[in-house]
Amino acid sequence: MATGLEKRACPITGNQSAQSYKTIIDHYTGDEYQVVKCPETQFLYLDPAPDLEHIAEHYANHAGQNMTTKPPTLFNFFRRFAFQSECHTLLNNLKPNSKIIDLGTGDGQLARFFKESQLQAKGMDFFPESEWPHDDIPYSSINLNETSVLETLDTNAIVMRHVLEHVHYPLEMIKAFHTANIDYVMVVVPNVESPAVNWFGTDWCSWDPPRHLQFFSEKTLRELFQRAGYREIGKHDHGIDEIVVSFFRKKMIQWHQDPESRTCERPEEESWYPLLESKNSLCTLAAVLQGPFLPSVLSRTFQRV
């Protein structure tokens, strides 16, 4: 049983009368979490969820390590094509040498892409500055849930690629960007209406509780930004690998729930673990094949109004 949980109101509306939706499992611990639905907007989110004091514990595993690990060359090669497609609207609206922050920068490859696109790029994330691998790109450690800090950011644009689903207070975050006079915000989040959700059920890779605290549809993502004072100006939905990583999640859940299926003392030692984990060659191939056909992620660009 997970500890350090707190009740949540709907992150968009503040409604406290959420309806039970489904039970999902943390594939790293076997703990169960409840997904609920806001009756006003149909927004899906975890309730209860780890509080700010305890959430870091749930990144002290492969999930957290993978966010900052330098990707293999092949993976990074194809991911740059995704960067170009996702950022097309944003780059067309920014002047050369504009300031841009890659918030939740992870391995820093997106910040690198922006620097090579003639922008003043900066990376920001929760890990210390000593772990930042790009000496020629500025970096700052930041708490994504400290609204007062976000309100002071000096930049023309913010990009959050697979970040917004992780923050406790997404509406307050986007409002802080508005207060900071940030003209453009681009986000990429998992699409909870992807066909793969029906295929894999609770094994779908992007349920991933409790690291993913909310689950966006096209409608609820737009609703969030409208309430914060932004309008949508661009979209480029596309596919990433859901198939291989969902099988990884399925095998991890099975390992926790069915001791007889285990051949090793830890899942990391099982033969299937390195074959199915993200950022490997099999995931890269699956992403390339899936990309043009399935809207696995919602990629949106918003402008301040």
pLDDT score, position 38? 97
What is the greatest pairwise CA distance in the chain?
A: 59
Phi, psi of 103, deg, nearest 5: -90, 120
pLDDT digits (tens, 9 = 90+) for 211-259: 999 999 999 999 999 999 999 999 988 777 788 889 999 999 999 999 9
Q: What is the pLDDT of residue 241?
A: 78
CB-hemisphere CA count at 13 Å for 174? 28
In this structure, what are the phi and psi dihedrals at residue 11, rounded to the nearest 5 degrees?
A: -65, -15
Q: How far apart are CA 68 and CA 206, in angstroms?
A: 18
SS3 assignment, position 227: helix
pLDDT tens-digit readout, 97-114: 999 999 999 999 999 999
Confidence band for 205, pLDDT divided at 50, 70 and 90:
very high
pLDDT digits (tens, 9 = 90+) for 62-80: 655 655 566 666 666 767 7
Q: Reply yes or no on whether the pLDDT at 280 is more than 80.
A: no
Q: What is the model's pLDDT at position 244?
A: 87
pLDDT higher than 80, residue 288: no
The overall average pLDDT reported for the chain is 91
300 forms beta bridges with 187, 235
d(CA 192, CA 44): 9
CB 196 within 8 A of CB 246: yes
Beta-carbon neighbour count of residue 48 at 10 Å?
Answer: 15
State the sign of the Cα–Cα–Cα–Cα dihedral 131, 66, 78, 85. negative
Q: How far is CA 30 from the centre of its chain?
A: 21
Spatial distance between the Cα atoms of 258 and 2, rounded to a whole number of angstroms: 19
Whole-structure pTM value: 0.91
47-72 mean pLDDT: 79
Number of Cβ atoms within 10 Å of the Cβ of 303? 18
For residue 178, with 0-12 CB atoms within 10 Å meaning exposed, 13-18 middle and 19 or more buried, which class applies? middle
Give the pLDDT score at 84. 84
Residue 10 has pLDDT above 80, yes or no: yes
- Among 108, 61, 69, residue whose Cα is nearest residue 208: 61
The two structure tokens encoding residue 265 = 């003392």
- Is 287 a residue whose pLDDT tops 80? no
157 pLDDT above the threshold of 80: yes
User: How far is Cα 214 from Cα 216, in angstroms, rounded to an integer?
Assistant: 7
pLDDT in tens, 123-145: 999 999 999 999 999 999 999 99
Distance, first Cα to last Cα, the chain? 44
- Express each pLDDT in 24-45 by its tens digit: 999 999 999 999 999 999 999 9
Q: What pLDDT was estimated at residue 290?
A: 64
Hunting for tokens 């959430």 — which residue is that? 55
Rounded CA Rg of the chain: 19
pLDDT at 294: 74
More confident residue, 276 or 163: 163
From the list 214, 230, 228, 226, the residue with the least C-alpha distance to 9 is: 214
Distance in angstroms (rounded) separating the CA atoms of residues 44 and 171? 14
pLDDT given at position 237? 82
